[in-house]
Structure 1
């Protein structure tokens, strides 16, 4: 690898190959490839294999994509392998071990809703020892994953969830008309608490975008509308037209909600968020959000009422959030991080 030092993360001169293994099966998704036009890129996507029953037992699409990626690395000496998601990282690292392929692996988007069970944890520890660097989206995850997988914490690099502002489907045509509070997402969400808070606020309308299992066994109040399994652009339309967003999380340790948080900030939305260690790198009480204690319908309802009634304060939080996202949560940040990883490979510094 050769790198031209400068402020532009794309100033690399090389004929080496970057292999990008992900769940995204789209010909238009190029990750940060446009920032590195002098690199050769190969994108390997997971594709569905066999029936749903077998897929629930073992995801053969992930297995096949990981194996293909490692074989590509074996045929191209000096390649770099980037994985997206923890399971793909483990599969790629395991195949690299088994096939004796000495490819540097960058495990990007390394995030668990819940840590693997005991047996899978043993397998992950064996496999992930082969990974050169992990990119996580909260500081607390560095500590949690380093301890769980018996790895040096220095291998885990924190990076804010960083993307382009989200594409809003038909922004001039609201999916939901009128004033409302939006709540979006399915991972580690505490919708029972939000539903109880909504019952205390009968004059406030709520619009939820969730998975069906998020509301299983729950009775939704009349001031709450629900959308399940809609497209991302439609979900962003609902967020775009909301007064602000509520993000109820299961507990004070949850490292989830980053995608929704950053989308809301990019769209200029204030937020009421459960105070969790996993989101403290993004939200700051009274600056760009209101933080509330977990599992407290009363606290959640009070914070929602405050933003609903005080539009000036709500707007101030929203603007601070937008500025934060514009500075710290852009796709360019990902390119800078990846450029730094390549530079370390060139320099040969210990990982």
Structure 2
């Protein structure tokens, strides 16, 4: 009992400031997964401002949010400043240096849509040298970012993307149109290959949830419908109502699609995904998903026909994916990894 009280006292002396770009004012990251006597969490949320519509050279909301995060870290004498996203990590590192903040920086959710090059990469290298640790959502990213930014690989920590089963909002898709395949997301997607496959499958309907730039240069056949820039809850409802999901990825250097994969798994959806080192921590071919080669239209067509005509296989893959997500892709898992980090820095008892 006495030892337990000592552990709680040690945790209560730790202060964590979280700096993130979030639209939900009630967001508390993983705080709810720590005991009430655990670390003290303080939040600095970057908010988009009207002036951001006129200033394109820099994300002013992000810059001011980073400054607010560093100032709060100094004010409360935070032990750790957790940033979410690489740009925030860089800005917080700069302001920490300028303001002489003593908080160590943990760059969480460290992922680029494309690795910076040239002068931009050089600037990131200088700023990220002030960061104590990085958290990524695939093991291959440890190698990619270590090499790109000249940071020792042991400073990069892997954890599966963690989330609860996604909430959905009512869809505008009529009930008679529920028979379709969904493809969700914008970063690193190869919709050119998926559309080419769909053109060879005119009897099957596809619904793409995309950004405008994902459709540039594409001529959609009649059986492919695009829903552009819709809310997350509606995107998840589109996914929930689909027979299964296709995740077509570019064979690029940066892994993408982790959020979409985890969401589909939590919803119990069968998945056909492009084979890629970036998703190999999630996709287990012929166990919880089907993998196809990048850019292989005929192989993708075959996989789609196979699942479309086999509801039992859809259910089997969907259930295996759901089990994987419940075991690995949870907020509790992210909290455990963060606690391990605190332990490694002497900020939390083992």
Distance 1:210 1:251 in 2: 19
Q: Deviations over 1:271-310 (max 9, x none)?
A: 1111111101100111111111111211111111111112
Structure 2 partner of 1:24: 22
Q: Displaced runs of 4+ in structure 1, greater than 6 A?
A: 9-12, 171-176
Distance 1:61 1:176 in 2: 43
How much has 1:115 moved relative to structure 2? 0.7
Structure 2 partner of 1:124: 124
Unaligned 5+ segments in structure 2 are none
Correspondence list, 1:1-351, <5 A: 13-36=11-34, 37-38=36-37, 39-49=39-49, 51-52=51-52, 54-170=54-170, 177-251=177-251, 253-346=253-346
| RMSD (CA atoms) | 2.4
* Distance 1:219-1:145 versus aligned 2 partners, 3 A rule: same
Distance 1:30 1:175 in 2: 36
How much has 1:26 moved relative to structure 2? 2.1
The DSSP-based 3-state class of the residue aligned with 1:101 is coil
How much has 1:117 moved relative to structure 2? 2.3
With 316-325 and 13-22 compared, the bigger mean Cα shift is at 13-22
How much has 1:76 moved relative to structure 2? 2.5
Does structure 1 retain, via aligned residues, the 8 Å contact 2:246–2:272?
yes
The DSSP-based 3-state class of the residue aligned with 1:57 is coil
* Count of residue correspondences: 345
Distance 2:28 2:176 in 1: 32
Does structure 1 retain, via aligned residues, the 8 Å contact 2:115–2:254?
no
With 130-139 and 95-104 compared, the bigger mean Cα shift is at 95-104
The DSSP-based 3-state class of the residue aligned with 1:13 is helix
Does structure 1 retain, via aligned residues, the 8 Å contact 2:266–2:321?
yes
How much has 1:193 moved relative to structure 2? 0.7
Distance 1:111 1:69 in 2: 20
Distance 2:30 2:207 in 1: 33
Distance 1:176 1:195 in 2: 23
* Distance 1:92-1:260 versus aligned 2 partners, 3 A rule: same
Does structure 1 retain, via aligned residues, the 8 Å contact 2:84–2:109?
yes
With 73-82 and 119-128 compared, the bigger mean Cα shift is at 73-82
